[in-house]
Each structure stands twice: as structure tokens, then as C-alpha cells.
Amino acid sequence: MKCCILAVGNEVVSGDIVNTNAATLANLVKAYGIHTVMHMAVEDSKKDIVKAVKRCLKKADLVFTTGGLGPTYDDITKKAVAEALGRKLVRDEYSVEVLKSYFQRVGKEMMPSNLSQCDFPKGSQIIQNPNGTAPASITKTEEGTVIMLPGPPIELRALMETEEMLSFLNSLKKEEILETTLRFIGIGESNLAEILSDEMKSEENLILAPYSNTGEVHLKITAKGKTKEEAEERTEQLMQVIYQKAGQYVYAEGNHPLEEVLVHTLIENGQTLVTAESCTGGMIGQTVTAVPGSSKPYLGGVVTYSNELKMALCGVSQDTLSEHGAVSSQTACEMAEGIRTRLGADIAVSVTGIAGPGGGTEEKPVGLVYIGVSTKEKTEATRFNFVGNRDKIRQLSMKNALHLALKSSLALADSVSEI
């Protein structure tokens, strides 16, 4: 089954508020085999809402509207939906009693305008609002079903969890939808799409969707099946092909960010990590320590922005700085090796570069970054030429430093197991 989500409100269209309701609904209905095919947002205009509802019903079997169920003059969603469906608005007397009881309970006077919240398209199923005064409604027609929900997220979520709503959604369930995300790093979105070009060809029951995140690519696999087992089997078969073609770039399955995978890998391998940062200014350490449990593998780090601190805290030699400069593979290596030996860690990562917007030269342009990694087995640095503003260059530096630390942790564990 397909659904559309229609947000109503000037504040949504203008960007004054973020439409989090669309994401909430789209994620919730997946569990019932409902595939969201479109999000829309329209102003508080009856004419526009009517057009939008009719358009949604042409694309999907189910339409959710959010917002515009209040008592004020601009809350016209129900009037517009009723017109779009060719239904009259009728007052639900039970909702009137519930509303009166609410105002008595909170000790406030009920305005005549509040009664409009009790009007619904004829034949609708009414669901009372546990967190507000605007009930939800389900209206079935030959063209499709429209579910009207209030705009405040706390009210919308509560209504989606009511027994009436869950019962209705369960009645629609005809297939299982299983979503799995693979996280890649070290390869761009276009390169990944090229490698998986045959698998990218959309099928109704198996869809691959790549999307870029800063410094990495996420690949969402959506599998459909009559049963959960059927959807799982389709997912597993596709994942086997993906791992055969691009498995070396996968660092995680599911919603596990790189820093979390790194921390858990270090703990599993019984390893410790330290950092020496220049252009990232402590961003690596901040990201790692945001992960619960990071205090076990992460001993700490230093921010050596000046050459003096690179020498004093990491042991970088004056000769290296004079001959090669602060932004060089030699300096990155000495930073990493120096901080590792001084703090007694298994792995050290260092970053030195030019984040911009100024400071670049023809020989060493903005975006040039060296990331050093040191273990007891070897110390080496990798050169990167990042493109973007200062924030993006720093983010990319941090992300790639985490990736190199993860690779070193895995390699170090492998070398120990071979002994």
C-alpha cells in the first residue's frame, strides 16, 4: 500500500518550523507494509488543500494530513478535505462532550469557536486526542482513505499510538517491509553506484538507495515480502552481492556511526587510542568521547595548534618543521608516534592541515590535510586534498582520521591473532 503525507500550514511552507511529522509518519507506517511515495506541504488555503488532497489520492491509497485542525479561522483542513472527498461536515456530539469535559477539567472557558474541532466529514471514524483538544479522524472513500492528524508532534505521536489507530493500520497490512542500511567510507556515491549499477536497477520488491553523508555513503536496502522471512531472504541475497563487489568499503550495518564502531572495536580488541590534533582543534577527541564507554579505550589527546606545542607535547623536531613545514607527512608521523610513545597507547592518530579559508599556497592549498597513524608496528601518514569550506574540511579530516584509526585497530588485532 502507498501513502502520501500532506502538511498544512503557512509556518511549514515558509520554513518557520521543521516538518518532523513527515519523517515520524513515514517511519511509523513502514511496519505495516505502507510505502510513503510523497511528502507535500501547502499553505492555509482551502483551494490549495483541496487540490493537494486530490493529487495525493491519485498517487496513493492512503493520505495523512497534519495540521489545521484547531479552532481558529485559518484551521481549514477539515473543510478542505470534506470538499475534496465530496462529503458534508457533521458535528460529532461525543467529541463535543469530551471537549466540554476538558475545559471544565482545566478550569478554562470554552469558546464557541472550539466546537469547530468537533466537525468531521460525514462517515468518519473519530479518534480522541489524549494530548490535546483536536481529535483525529479516518475517512474512507472509494478513491482512498484520508487520515487527519493535528500538527503538534506530541499530539500526533500520541494519536498514532492509540488502540483505534493501531487497529486500523493493522487492517491494512498486506506485506512486510524490511529496511537495512550499509555504511561505506573510502568511496564516493557515484563510484559506489557504478560498482553496483546492476543492483541499483529498481525492482518493486527490492530497492537500493544510496545517499551521501559527510565523508561517507549510506546505502539503504528496502525489501518487501509477503512474510518477514521472505523480505529477510531477499535482503540477505542482495547483501551477499554487495559485499562481494564493495565489501572492503563497508564499515557498519545499521544505524551505527563511525565513532561508535571505532570505540566498540577498540574495546573488543583490548586496545587504547590517543590523538594529536592541529587543524581539527579537538574535534576527533570530542567525537570519540561522545560515545558511551569511550573512557575505556580512549586515553586522551592533545591539541597542538602551534609549532611550539607540536614540539613540546608530541616531540616533533625543529628540523622537520623547518625542512617540511607543519603541514607535511613527516610532521603528521612525528605527531602520531610522539604522542603514542609518550602516553603509552596502542594506536595514535594525528591530523595537521590547512582548513582555510586563508593560509593556502600553490604548493600547499586549502584542503591539504595529512593524517598520521602510529602503532607499535609502523607509523605512516596519508595525504588528503579535501574540497569545501572550513567546517567541511575539518569534518572530513575528523571522519577520515576515525576511519584510519578503525583500520589500524583491525589490522593490529589481525597481526596479534596470527602470532
Pairing of strands 89-91, 35-42: unpaired
Q: What radius of gyration, in Å, describes the C-alpha atoms of the chain?
A: 28
Mean pLDDT of 294-303: 98
Please give the average per-residue pLDDT across 33-60, as a whole number: 96
Strands 368-374, 298-303: pairing is unpaired
Q: What integer is the mean pLDDT of 31-50?
A: 95
Measure the CA–CA gap between 175 and 177, rounded to whole angstroms: 7
**Pick from 52, 26, 55: which is nearest to 41 by CA?**
52
pLDDT band at residue 282 using 50, 70 and 90 as cut-offs: very high
Q: How is residue 360 written as a grid cell?
A: 593556502
In sequence order, the β-bridge partners of residue 179 are 222
> Strand, helix or coil at 65?
strand
Per-residue pLDDT of 124-177, as tens digits, reads: 999 999 999 999 999 999 999 999 999 999 999 999 999 999 999 999 998 888
Which residues fall within 8 angstroms of residue 359, CB to CB, at 6 or more apart? 366
Please report, to the nearest 10 degrees, the dihedral formed by the alpha carbons of residues 312, 315, 318, 319 taken in order.
Answer: 180
H helices of 247-305, in order, are 258-269, 283-289
Q: Is the pLDDT of residue 178 over 80?
A: yes
Q: What is the C-alpha separation between 48 and 65, in angstroms, rounded?
A: 13
In the chain the domains, ranked by start, together with CATH numbers, are 2-172 (3.40.980.10), 176-253 (3.30.70.2860), 267-418 (3.90.950.20)
Give residue 417's pLDDT. Answer: 65
The cell numbers describing 151, all together, are 500538527
Mean pLDDT, rounded, for 291-303? 98
Q: What is the pLDDT of residues 384-416, one digit of tens each?
A: 999 999 999 999 999 999 999 999 999 999 887
Cell of 171: 487492517
Residue type at 399 in one-letter notation: K
Q: Is the pLDDT of residue 419 over 60?
A: no
In whole angstroms, what is the distance from residue 405 CA to residue 411 CA?
Answer: 10
pLDDT of residue 201: 83
Residue type, position 121, single letter: P
pLDDT tens readout for residues 73-112: 889 999 999 999 999 999 999 999 999 999 999 899 999 9
Closest of 57, 78, 73 to residue 135, by C-alpha:
78
Instruction: Provide the whole-model pTM.
Output: 0.81
Mean pLDDT of the residues in the chain: 95
Written as nine digits, the cell of 58 is 491519485
3-state secondary structure of 347: strand
Q: Residue 74: how many CA atoms within 13 Å on its side-chain side?
A: 9
The DSSP result for 386-403, as a single string, is --S-HHHHHHHHHHHHHH
Q: Tell me the three cell numbers of residue 252.
A: 557498519
Residue 418: band (very low, low, confident or very high) from pLDDT cuts 50, 70, 90? low
| Identity of the amino acid at 301 | G
For 209-253, how does the pLDDT look when each residue is reduced to its tens digit (9 = 90+)? 999 999 999 999 999 999 999 999 999 999 999 999 999 999 999
Return the SS3 of 70: coil
Q: Which of 395, 407, 348 is nearest to 367 (CA)?
A: 395
